[in-house]
Structure 1
């Protein structure tokens, strides 16, 4: 079940109005209450949101939620006690609307169920599982140097058409569907789409991370494309988008261990492969905070 902390004695926030881009009073696309006025917050998302493997893990939590994931850090930093972390490892956008059977065999409620009419802040991190991002990354792994193996850049473009690009483009309208449903359930909420961080630098770092140079570049191009689609859909719907690509660029799986924010194929303790570690979640929280408090 999602973690829920309820704030008592909260004064109702001012009504929220969406304004046109370029309004002098607001640098964002949404004219929302200042951060201190957010009395309630719901986080929706997949494992890049929930933080599986990162201590401390919630006892018995079937979704791998960490108390150090970026939604919890945001809620803590803003003093939001009425906070629900509905994110769940392996979630797709379908699990927002339907019960999800987790990797631990438990069934959890639809993530949308955490939303209320008075919810004031909602962050969303989704799309990677819908387009098979982790499977793509694992398919790019080669134990041997080229040419002894298979290039994921080639296997995903068998007839000259990139099937990962096709999956991303087909998924794009789902972001608008998600935004519309959040607005229907929580009409006063400020909605923030959170992108995916840099996974691997151009050219990679084979053999430290066993992804061939061209495949490393290909893999990151797909992450970038998903982020671009997310940003475009957020802008079209007049909601916030948080870019994690630039801030994490030098902290990918090829970075030195002490500066690495993304766990590699053989992760250190307190992380799982090809996912953000605790430092990566701290950065994500900082980027979200910078967006909603400017």
Structure 2
């Protein structure tokens, strides 16, 4: 018995160490199967190297960077430029991308999704506000257009995105019940200060704070949906303040109408996707702490 006691103690210590090591691994997170869903702010529009031209999908988008860090056993990225919430369950006509939910499996254990901007739709805002502000440095022609009837129609469209995104999150959970789900927000496009940079970006000085607030409202709506549907929200707005579309090359993370680095107009560049990846990883760490 005296000789057996040290062995028993050693076994106990070894078991304790293994258990602690297993718990530590669980906290830091290891994933077998990662699926990325989303629109052009996820696909990394026109950032080198483009690996899927119909979807403008880059191998330097934030899902690819997250994968490089987490090293899951399998990684599937079906994000696609122009995608909206209906494209989760239906084929995307302009790109031929199959329903994005087809990528989800019962054993998928990590899903990131960035969606909602094209349900407003984002492109309409850019074109409408840019056209109205092109020859109007002062005033608020875009805001006046959306609020002219006494109701903020654009804000109403943003709020209407909420239930649609909620259904997306529920759909992910139904198909991948064990998955950790991260809903990724949108970065600061216009200066958070409310400033503008007309005519470089043809947004009137009265419209700049209005559009800033619309982006903040969209992120608030997305964060609310994440909280209500058992998902984690990754805030990419706060970290991108000071790196908006009005900043000079090397500082801006959102390209302008005429990009100065490889990226889609009014979309994140490579530095922007780097930050998106950092915020996704930070959100995963916070969710497990």
What is the TM-score of this pair, normalised by structure 1? 0.84
Instruction: Deviation per CA, 1:253-275: give whole Å up to 9, x if none.
Output: 11121111000111124111111
Tell whether the 8 Å contact from 1:120 to 1:186 is kept in structure 2 after alignment.
Answer: yes
Q: Which residue of the partner structure matches residue 73 of structure 1?
A: 65
Q: Which of 100, 118, 136 is the equivalent residue of 1:145?
A: 136
Are residues 1:44 and 2:34 paired? no
Deviation at 1:44, TM superposition (A): 0.6
Tell whether the 8 Å contact from 2:34 to 2:75 is kept in structure 1 after alignment.
Answer: yes
Tell whether the 8 Å contact from 1:168 to 1:225 is kept in structure 2 after alignment.
Answer: yes
Tell whether the 8 Å contact from 2:35 to 2:108 is kept in structure 1 after alignment.
Answer: yes
CA RMSD of aligned residues (A): 1.8
Deviation at 1:150, TM superposition (A): 7.3
Alignment partners' CA distance in 1, 2:35 and 2:28: 14
Instruction: Deviation per CA, 1:4-41: give whole Å up to 9, x if none.
Output: xxxxxxxxxxxxxxxxxxxxxxxxxxxx9445421110
Alignment partners' CA distance in 2, 1:239 and 1:33: 18
Q: Secondary structure at the match of 2:60?
A: coil
Alignment partners' CA distance in 2, 1:33 and 1:94: 34
Alignment of 1:138-287 (within 5 A): 138-141=127-130, 142-146=133-137, 151-201=141-191, 202-287=194-279
Tell whether the 8 Å contact from 1:192 to 1:241 is kept in structure 2 after alignment.
Answer: yes
Q: Where has structure 1 moved over 3 Å in runs of 4 or more?
A: 32-36
List alignment gaps of at least 5 residues for structure 2: 1-24
Tell whether the 8 Å contact from 2:45 to 2:81 is kept in structure 1 after alignment.
Answer: yes
Tell whether the 8 Å contact from 1:75 to 1:81 is kept in structure 2 after alignment.
Answer: no
List alignment gaps of at least 5 residues for structure 1: 1-31
Larger-gyration structure (1/2): 2
Q: Which of 82, 103, 127 is the equivalent residue of 1:114?
A: 103
Deviation at 1:203, TM superposition (A): 2.2
What is the TM-score of this pair, normalised by structure 2? 0.85
Question: Please, which moves more after superposition, 115-124 or 236-245?
Answer: 236-245
Alignment partners' CA distance in 1, 2:170 and 2:261: 39
Q: Which residue of the partner structure matches residue 124 of structure 1?
A: 113
Alignment partners' CA distance in 2, 1:132 and 1:75: 29
Instruction: Deviation per CA, 1:135-173: give whole Å up to 9, x if none.
Output: 1122111322346x9711111112111111111122211
Q: Secondary structure at the match of 2:147?
A: coil
Tell whether the 8 Å contact from 1:263 to 1:272 is kept in structure 2 after alignment.
Answer: yes
Q: Which residue of the partner structure matches residue 17 of structure 1?
A: none
